[in-house]
Amino acid sequence: MEMLFPLLLTLHILVGLSVIGLVLIQHGKGADMGAAFGSGASGSLFGASGSANFLSRMTAILAAVFFLTSLGLTYIASSKPKVSDSSVMDTVKTAPAVPVAPLDAPQAVDSKAKDIPK
């Protein structure tokens, strides 16, 4: 399981880049008018309409693979065991405690309040 995560992540990145490339290669809806005036689409490798079908099918297949790799990465990342139960605060060194006078003990206060008659 430890080796599966980097492989699946690499596949996910490659499929994502492939989907981006295939989407950029495809012609939009407005490209049909330019093809009607002889832009040379009929002389392509797949024929006049074959490239559109091939590219759209490949895009759909790669999008499905991208979706599945996303789910796989999510499952693997969420099922990883916790490394330790300790906290970061367990490693902090604490300073020695400073003695504090109790609250009810008389404190030496240098104020003029004791000089005021009641």
Burial 64-96 (b: 16+ CB within 10 A, else e): ebbeebeebbeeeeeeeeeeeeeeeeeeeeeee
- The whole-number pLDDT of residue 37 equals 58
Single out the residue of 71, 72, 57 nearest to residue 22, CA to CA.
57
C-alpha triplet 34, 37, 42: angle, nearest 5°? 85
Q: Which residue has the higher pLDDT, 42 or 85?
A: 85
Kindly state the helix (H) or strand (E) to which residue 28 belongs, with its residue range.
none
- The whole-number pLDDT of residue 36 equals 55
Of 11-20, 36-45, 54-63, 78-87, the range with the lowest mean pLDDT is: 36-45
Residue 12, pLDDT > 80, answer: yes
Single out the residue of 33, 36, 28, 30 nearest to residue 56, CA to CA.
28
Average pLDDT across the chain, whole number: 77
